[in-house]
Amino acid sequence: MQEKIIITGGPGTGKSTVLNELQKQNFLCMHEISRDITLQARKTGIEQLFLKDPVLFSKLLLEGREIQYKNAHESSADIVFFDRGIPDINAYMNYMGIQYDDSFIKTCQTNRYTKVFIMPPWEEIYITDNERYESFEQALAIHNHLKNTYVSLEYELIDVPFNSVNKRVEFILTTLKLDK
């Protein structure tokens, strides 16, 4: 049975860097797609789609993450790592105080992951950029919404400690009993 592993956390916690390292080690990785959606919206003149129309942004994100989940499932890989999972969408909408329909929750319940690693906010590495507009304080709040959302969906969260990229990857692989 294929293992689907989420690496989640607030913005700027090092998720993508860890995923890139896992990919270098020949693991199948599904990368974050929210930046792609944001960049596509910019081409149509919308600077921050998540802020302008968070429900549309979330629906596009849900569609993309469902495709990633399906592509992972159809692959021959024994283990697949995801830079964020479907429940992250609900967590962000909870953070924004946005009402959403039950289809978001049902999609989370239908598309289950094996394990969830959560990377805590780390002020020393936190930076903002054109797509990451949240302050560090907002990143802390998002982290709490992520934790609450995953726990409400009955996931056990595994905290990834602060460390170098290689040590974080080693921690994840050791926890999954995939270390060398």
Give domain status of residue 154, yes or no: yes
Does 103 score more than 60 pLDDT? yes
pTM exceeding the 0.85 threshold for the entire prediction: yes
Q: Residue 37: inside a domain, yes or no?
A: yes
Residue 167, in any domain of the structure = yes
Q: Is residue 159 part of a domain?
A: yes
Summarised one tens digit per residue, pLDDT across range 20-57 is 999 999 999 999 998 889 888 889 888 778 778 888 89
Return the beta strands (E) in the chain as ranges. 3-9, 28-30, 79-83, 115-119, 157-159
Q: Is residue 78 part of a domain?
A: yes
Judge whether 140 lies within some domain: yes
19: domain range?
Answer: 3-175
- Does residue 50 belong to any structural domain of this protein? yes
- Of residues 174, 160, 170, 128, the one with CA closest to residue 21: 170
Is 180 a domain residue? no
Angstrom distance (rounded) from CA 163 to CA 160? 9
The count of structural domains within the chain is 1
In this structure, what CATH number is given to the domain that contains residue 15? 3.40.50.300
